[in-house]
Amino acid sequence: MLPTRELYIAGLVAYTLGIAAGLAGHVTGMARSWIARAICFLSLVGALLEFGAAIGGLLASGDLSWSLASGIPYLNYGVRLDPLSAYFILALSLLAASVSVYSFGYVGHHSTRKSPALFCAFLNLLLLALTLVFTAANILFFLIAWELTAVAAYFLIVFDHESAESRKGGLLYFLMARGGTGMLFVGFLLLATAAGSLEFSALHGVSRQLSPMVGAGAFLLLFFGFGVKAGIIPLHIWLPAAHPVAPSNVSALMSGIVIKAGIYGMARVFFDFYGALPVWAGLTVLVVGVVSALLGVLYALMEHDLKRLLAYHSVENIGIILMGFGSALLFRSFGHPQLAALALIAGLFHTLNHGVFKCLLFLGAGSVLHATQTRNMEQMGGLIRRMPSTALYFLIGAIAISGLPPLNGFVSEWFTYQALLAGFGATPDLTRVAFPIAGALLALTAALAAACFVKAFGITFLALPRSEEAEHAREVSFSMRSGMAILALACVLLGLGATWFLPVFDAITNRAFGVAISGDLVAGNGFLLTAGSAMRGTVSTVAIALALMVLGSFPLLFWFVWKRKSVQVSGPTWDCGQPGLTAQNEYTATAFSKPLRMIFAALFRPRREIQAEYEVSAYYPKSFHFESEIEPTFEAHVYGPLRTAVLSISSRMRRLQTGSIHLYLAYVFVTLILLLLFGVRG
Amino acid sequence: MAILTLLLIPLLASAATVPMRNVRRMELLHLLSAAGSFLAAVWLAAEVLRSGTVTWGDGFLYADYLSALVAALTAFVYLVSAPYAVGYLRRDEEQQVFAETGNGRGSFSKLRKYYALTPLFGFSMFLVVVSNNLGVLWIAVEGTTLASIFLVTFYGRRTSLEAAWKYAILGGVGLSMALFGTVLTYYAAHQILGGESLNVLNWSVLAASASQFDKTVMRLSFILVLLGYGTKAGLAPMHTWKPDAYSEAPAPVAALMATAVVNCALYALARFYVLTERCLGPAFVSQLLILFGLLSIGIAVPFILVQRSYRRLLAYSSIDHAGIMALGLGFGGPLGALGMLLHMTFHSVTKPLLFFCAGNAQQHTGNDSLRQHPGGLLHSLPVSAPMFLLATLAITGTPPFSMFQSEFTILRAGFAAQHVGSVILFVIFVVAIFCGFFYHVANLVFGPDPGVPRGEFSRWKTLPVIGLSLIVVVLGFWLPAPIYALVNGAARILAVQP
Amino acid sequence: MSQPALALIAQVALVLFLSPLITGFSRTLKARLQTRRGPGILQPYRDLRKLLQKGMVIPDTASWIFAATPYILFATTLLAGLMIPTISAQAPLSLLGGVLAVVYLLALGRFFLALGGLDTGSSFGGLGSSREMTIAAIAEPALMLAVFTVAIAAGSTNLSTVAQSALGQSWRFLAPSQMLAFAALFIVLIAETGRIPVDNPATHLELTMIHEAMILEYSGPYLALIEWSAAMKQLVLMTLLVNVFFPFGLSAGWWQPSTLVSLVLFIGKLLLLAAAVVLVETSNAKLRIFRVPELLAVAFVLSALALISTFLF
Amino acid sequence: MLFDDPQFGNKLITMMAALVLVLQILMVAQRWLITNIRAFGVQSFLLACIAATIAHFNHAPHIYIVAVLTLVFKALLLPIVLERLVMKIEIQQEIEPFVNVPVSVIVSGLLTLLAYVVAESFHRPEEAAGAAHLGHNTLAVAIALFLIGFFMMVNRRKALTQVLALLCLENGLFLAAISLTYGMPLIVEAGIFFDVLVATLLLAILIYRIRETFDSMDVSRLSRLRG
């Protein structure tokens, strides 16, 4: 039995020490990088301790709950480590550990150069706040931690506040986050008033005491309130603005786990606070999931800023997770706990998986950025020769996120498919059609994601470098590489070892639906994954991996048969007879995504302009200037008008304060008259 | 005894300043009076904590938890603004801002005016909270206006004259309404208690028998008092003088007005709230308070969103917070009153910090415009700029800072009292205000180095900022037991008796 | 040697050595329909043998991805082939992954093939990869939806289970859902195997080529592996069609007297399907690449109808 | 004996109150500043008389003091101060209101009506005799004074006239106080007088400085601070 509580508190202490040390270092102006390293080490320690605590929480029979010391009489910092919290802590601390390792080499460079100590302090603050978000056991404490996360994240994003881009991105994030919190306020308090208590334990299944109207209202408020943080469409616009501009280890954490705080909140509300919900609720979540997934990946395809691309993929994967959640809700509404559990597992497992590979990809992108000083893929290329291990890790991440076997992305998507498939049989008439359609669109999403990462990896790492920086890129430091290595390893292990990981979910599904199905999900003595029963379909990532190795070595057999080792000569690529193939001839990211841009033109409304300068005749262009952009639908048609409307109304209202004292007196006079009449009347 | 000390210290200080010839001595005296009155306030609070209420002169002066709390807060603001004022005015002297307003001996008379009037200002505020007699209460509130008019015109600019005029006229009208309300209350009491004796206007006496008062009279009286003291507290639509006065007065005075005066006005309002509530039951009062509270919060939204000067920004923010407190009182119940008083406490700590940071920024850059400001304050003001940001987060109710807790408490009170609609409006407004406020300040503080020379070398101006920020941060995590006891006791006075 | 092991070897052999035959057959048939003599049916075997023995030129811009691609492609396609019931309803590796695994294995192969195309740095490679991924992506939903229709009907994604459940009721393919799904899958087959009207395997005209453009830089044994994988992929998809929709003649297990019959039947069915594809090819002109989505949209609608009809009828 | 008959006192007070009201409405209609100030003086004088009468008929000696205070401060001191100011800053005499005179008078009439409505709600028939009854008429007048004074503040451009209006408003208050409750307790009353005086003086100083800074008394020009 692990000393879970001690581990947990020790972890918090480590983070806190990190914060304190960082602030001290900043105030005393000791910006030397060894302090930063020391603080990164502290956060690493904290992460490991929390990891232990998470394990303890998952192994524990009941939930562990205690409360931290609070200096405020009316405020208790209640902490609860039930399976769901423990699971998210697990994910958090895994990512936190690898990011801290990565940060050893990362901090003290470019954007964090000004004051690495302060930067690390905020990093620790973010980790601390997230830990609290996942474990807070009453609404007030939860909201405090929730907002604290936003604050820490904001300061990390704008850490390089001299760049207008990061100021803008950070601000957008912070303001939208506050909007979300506003919704949470109301939603939570509606529940709390019904339950008569702020404690999560009292809120369990509180929905039964709610009137349908209130229940629906609170559900929507909470769903969209958490949705802002999770980045569901149409509340996603902050995500591609904020994630890319942050320092890369921060982007990694944000896309990896910070947005998962929204997912945690939804899981908490949907499956802990609410009992069976009406059908429309599940459908809403499902539809939002599908839309986010599809639009997310489509927008990602159009990006040639590597980090923005990754950011949009976060939107996509959140969508996939929500498909799982949505079908879980539907199954519960129709009384199929087993299936609900399957769908929930699909969603939660994908949450962890996405965390891992997205973090990995962002760290990879960070290394590339570190080496080439640009995020623009059109400036990259040929990096696989210059930074081989980064390339390898990035490739692993790319395969995983494209949901290709045998890595972890495949497993969770496979479960999602199975859940959707089962949905058709398990639900009455029209609802059932939603499932396979969703499945088909999930397939489309996955295929597009694959296309997108062929582009991302191919353009970034393969063929010839397209710029000086890429030409002279160097492999990153050991610590950064090992940070990525940990996550790459996690991708492989979670993929191949899925069968051994599944029991983790038993406690969670048991709490939510009263069933534990990991036994049914595993067959062939821990060798096969099944969709609830071997009949419904099986897959075995391990076996696939092995088989691929064996079959892949077949050809070598042929060489062996014709004992003639075939000669290999290396020569130039075919250049259509024009001597000297240069980077100019390479396919660009823009060109790569052109077919899809044309196919989905209705959505993208692409705009392009070509200016050509000619020397002698129109047949001999001297130079081309090609520029193409797509219309950001939501920014242009939803948020832009909204903003202008609010501002114009406000500036019109400024006329109330014209400076004329007579007008001011008139306000008071009229108010007096009205109130007198009211007073006499009432 | 404590009460008397509290009143005498500032009064004597102000009297002693008038004949003085030496600015340094004035400064010293000012600091001493501030410290002294703070100690006195603490003493009073201690007395109250020990023995429920403290009275003097057979109940002429009377202090219970509520008075002690507000007195302590006022004294606190007075205390922190004193050293800041010293630094602020010295800086003004260096920059010869008094030169162009060359009436008579220029800067010296100015400074003497400041150091003489501010303690008087403080005195009248202390009188507000310890006077048991509602008439005297009114006189004291009027006194705060009179004492502060010439602090508003301190810089003698055209704009500050304008501001002062609006302040005086609106204040005058408002207070005459308050007086009318007081007269009506007295009339209501007169019918029951009879007699011309002074005590008939004593709150403690009235509170005892308020339940038998004439309902119509009390209703009208509360309406008038609400409008009257509401004007002083800056509730919409009587708020219009606030942005002008706050942006024209020197930063320390603005800080006093934005916190201490607002507290006093709300204190007076609360006293009448109790009487009316006991007479008419909660429904009538709370609907009025909620109406005005929401109106004030709502009116602040557009002006904060498209604001052009950060001093006025702060003014609108304090209108917003006055509204929030009124709302808390209006929601009622133990939670509502508790929330309101907690909010008052935290607001009185945070707002001065904001005004000080803003003052430093304004003195450094020479204007308080948000429009043509290059931003990047962080480079030239290494202390004030980050603290400005911190204070902004605190004032907009961002955790871990404590105002979040009080606002949350008020929200809960609203839900407990079934005012769901108002609560939703409240949340929307607060979010919008946060967006505007933070947007402006972030653009002010962050950004590339505009090349303004690095400023703030005066300890007088930085230390109060640092100290206050420390307190703000600490309050987020630790609320000392005595303060909470005080707040709680005060809340029990205001809470609706079932 | 145990039964399953033998079955495994048998199917490996079948997939490996039957696939070039189908390719050869359809080429010859196509030539005949165009009144050419065309190469012999066995030509693909000769090509493979030849290529495997040749030396090869590796572009000097290429990285290890270029070299790894042929092996991965080969392995994934072959493995996919082992999960599909061919002559026996009981595919040897069907437990390792159902239809989803098959689709995703093919996708994995495609992923690397596209990378290999980009790795050369020539604009043809990029062009090919881009188009390949695009068409695969938009073919995906139709494919999946059709597959779902079948899987739902059988209550399993495991192909052997699907085939067995189909075995019982041999006339089920007359059900509207099945027919619609078949039609949809047929279109997808054409798209996925790169045949006219989507792609033309016989051309090297840069404006039109897709698959060929990707593998332009490959030569010698690597090219052989890729061509072979292409043939196997075609076999896999065709088998999927014939054995899921027309499962008759599938023997319950291996090594029964019926097995030989079912082998013959299997090949017959494949050849019929190949002939059908060839007919489509010769009777159509190649589409502009931006017309292809419309074709696949038709496929998607068909499979959607198929799905809906499953719970209407 | 006539001077002990409360009915007579009642009549007397009502009559004077009515006069006060008439004066007020005259001030609304009045265009000349000096006249306005004098009218205010007369009004204050009448108030003093009312106070005295009440003091006499209700045997409340302390109200005599109030009456004297009123007489000294409001009827004499303030008008003098204000006239001095007018002389000092030779502003042209015309008052130009926002709303022209007829309309203003009509508005004042409406306000008086409202005042009566409000005062009605105080009326307790069961206690018809004595103070409350005596209060009731005058209370209406008081409220009317208050409202009309307020209206004048809104309506007048010049700083000085606004102050004057404020004083009228205070007069309304005073009338209400003495008629309802025979005045507040003495200390309070004195304090209030003191405050009003100081306020007026401060305002006078402000007016002076506004005058010398803006070369104008028109406060509607003070509109630099907006938004």
Pairing relationship of beta strands C56-59 and A568-571 according to DSSP bridges: parallel
**pLDDT per position as a tens digit, A2-60:** 788 999 999 999 999 999 999 988 888 776 678 888 899 999 999 999 999 999 998 88
The pLDDT, as a whole number, for residue B101 is: 52
What is the number of structural domains in chain D? 1
Residues A680/D118, Cβ–Cβ less than 8 Å:
yes
Residues A299/A312, Cβ–Cβ less than 8 Å:
yes
Q: Is residue B3 part of a domain?
A: no
The pLDDT, as a whole number, for residue A1 is: 65
Neighbours of B380 (CB within 10 A): 19
Q: Is residue D226 part of a domain?
A: no
Residue B291 tokens, joined:
């109406």
Q: Is residue D10 part of a domain?
A: yes
Determine the structural domain holding residue B483 and report its residue range.
293-498
Torsion angle defined by CA atoms of residues B211, B217, B218 and B224, in that order, rounded to the nearest 10 degrees: -170
Q: Does A29 touch chain B (CB under 8 A)?
A: no
Amino acid at site D80: I
The pLDDT, as a whole number, for residue C312 is: 66
The pLDDT, as a whole number, for residue B100 is: 55
| Cβ <8 Å between D184 and B180 | no
Chain A: partners with 3+ C-beta pairs within 8 Å: B, C, D
**Secondary structure, 3-state, A108-142:** CCHHHCCCHHHHHHHHHHHHHHHHHHHHECEHHHH
Listed in sequence order, the DSSP H helices in D156-225 are 159-181, 186-214
Helix (H, G, I), strand (E, B) or coil at B337: helix
Q: Is residue B451 part of a domain?
A: yes
Determine what percent of chain B is predicted with pLDDT higher than 70.
97
Q: Does C180 touch chain A (CB under 8 A)?
A: no
User: Which one of C48, C76, C78, C95 makes the best mutation probe of the A interface by having the most chain A beta carbons within 10 Å?
Assistant: C95
**pLDDT per position as a tens digit, D176-191:** 888 877 767 777 888 8
Does the pLDDT of residue B167 top 50, yes or no? yes
Closest Cα in chain D, distance from residue B462 (Å): 30
Q: What is the DSSP string of chain C?
A: --HHHHHHHHHHHHHHHHHHHHHHHHHHHHHHHTT-----TTHHHHHHHHHHHS-EEEETT--HHHHHHHHHHHHHHHHHHHTS-SSBSS-TTGGGB-HHHHHHHHHHHHHHHHHHHHHT--HHHHHHHHHHHHHHHHHHHHHHHHHHHHHHHHT-S-HHHHHHHHHH-GGGGGSHHHHHHHHHHHHHHHHHTT-TTT--TT---TTT-SHHHHTTT--HHHHHHHHHHHHHHHHHHHHHHHHHH--TT-BSSSSSHHHHHHHHHHHHHHHHHHHHHHHHHHHSPPPPGGGHHHHHHHHHHHHHHHHHHHHH-
Determine the structural domain holding residue D121 and report its residue range.
2-221
The pLDDT, as a whole number, for residue C308 is: 82
Residues of chain B positioned with their CB less than 8 A from the CB of A657: 240, 243, 303
Residue whose entry in the numeric block shows the structure tokens 């499953």: C310
Mean per-residue pLDDT for A562-587? 75
**pLDDT per position as a tens digit, B420-477:** 999 999 999 999 999 999 999 999 999 998 888 887 778 889 999 999 999 999 999 9
Report the Cα B339 to chain-centroid distance in Å: 16
Peptide bond into C197 cis (omega under 30): yes
**pLDDT per position as a tens digit, C80-98:** 999 999 888 888 888 888 8
Mean per-residue pLDDT for A217-239? 94
Q: Is residue D227 part of a domain?
A: no
| Cβ <8 Å between A72 and B478 | yes
State ipTM: 0.92
Q: Does A649 touch chain B (CB under 8 A)?
A: yes
| Cβ <8 Å between D153 and B173 | yes
Residues of chain D positioned with their CB less than 8 A from the CB of B158: 213-214, 224
Residues C82/C244, Cβ–Cβ less than 8 Å:
no
Residues of chain D positioned with their CB less than 8 A from the CB of A658: 223, 226
Q: List all residues of chain C from 258 to 277 with a beta carbon under 8 Å from chain A.
A: none
The pLDDT, as a whole number, for residue D131 is: 46
The pLDDT, as a whole number, for residue B104 is: 47
Residue from the list C82, C105, C148 with its beta carbon closest to the beta carbon of A421? C148
Residue from the list B302, B378, B447 with its beta carbon closest to the beta carbon of A653? B302
Closest Cα in chain C, distance from residue A534 (Å): 9
Chain B: partners with 3+ C-beta pairs within 8 Å: A, D
- Calculate the average pLDDT of chain A: 90
| Cβ <8 Å between D146 and B138 | no
Nearest residue to B376 via CA among B453, B310, B450: B450
Helix (H, G, I), strand (E, B) or coil at C288: coil
Residues C8/C92, Cβ–Cβ less than 8 Å:
yes
What is the number of structural domains in chain B? 1
Task: Give the CB-side neighbour count of residue B96, counting CA atoms within 13 A.
Answer: 3
The pLDDT, as a whole number, for residue D130 is: 45
Residue A65: beta bridge partners?
A80
Does the pLDDT of residue A368 top 90, yes or no? yes
| Cβ <8 Å between D192 and B166 | no
| Cβ <8 Å between A175 and B415 | no
**pLDDT per position as a tens digit, C242-265:** 888 888 778 777 777 778 888 898
Residue A294 tokens, joined:
């599809």
**pLDDT per position as a tens digit, A626-672:** 778 888 888 888 999 999 999 999 999 988 888 889 999 999 999 99
Q: How confident is the model at residue B236 (pLDDT cuts 50, 70, 90)?
A: confident
Dihedral angle sign, alpha carbons of residues A308, A310, A313, A318 = negative
Residue B393 tokens, joined:
């987060």
User: Which one of C108, C165, C192 makes the best mutation probe of the A interface by having the most chain A beta carbons within 10 Å?
Assistant: C108
Residues of chain B positioned with their CB less than 8 A from the CB of D194: 139
- pTM (2 d.p.): 0.93
Lowest-confidence segment of A555-564, A673-682, B73-82, B393-402 by average pLDDT: A555-564
User: Which one of B162, B217, B316 makes the best mutation probe of the D interface by having the most chain D beta carbons within 10 Å?
Assistant: B162
Alpha carbon distance B288, B293 (integer Å): 8
Amino acid at site B391: A
Q: Is residue B119 part of a domain?
A: no
The pLDDT, as a whole number, for residue B496 is: 64
What is the number of structural domains in chain C? 1
Q: What is the DSSP letter of D158?
A: B
Nearest residue to C19 via CA among C265, C183, C227, C163: C227
Burial category of A492 from C-beta neighbours within 10 Å (exposed 0-12, middle 13-18, buried 19 and up): middle
The pLDDT, as a whole number, for residue D126 is: 53
Torsion angle defined by CA atoms of residues D65, D67, D72 and D78, in that order, rounded to the nearest 10 degrees: 130
Does the pLDDT of residue A593 top 80, yes or no? yes
Helices (H) and strands (E) in chain C, counts: 11, 1
User: Which one of D116, D152, D154, D222 makes the best mutation probe of the A interface by having the most chain A beta carbons within 10 Å?
Assistant: D154
Determine the structural domain holding residue C113 and report its residue range.
3-312
Q: Mark the ranges of chain C whose per-residue pLDDT is less than 70.
A: 1, 168-173, 206, 311-313
Closest Cα in chain B, distance from residue A488 (Å): 36
| Cβ <8 Å between A143 and B399 | yes
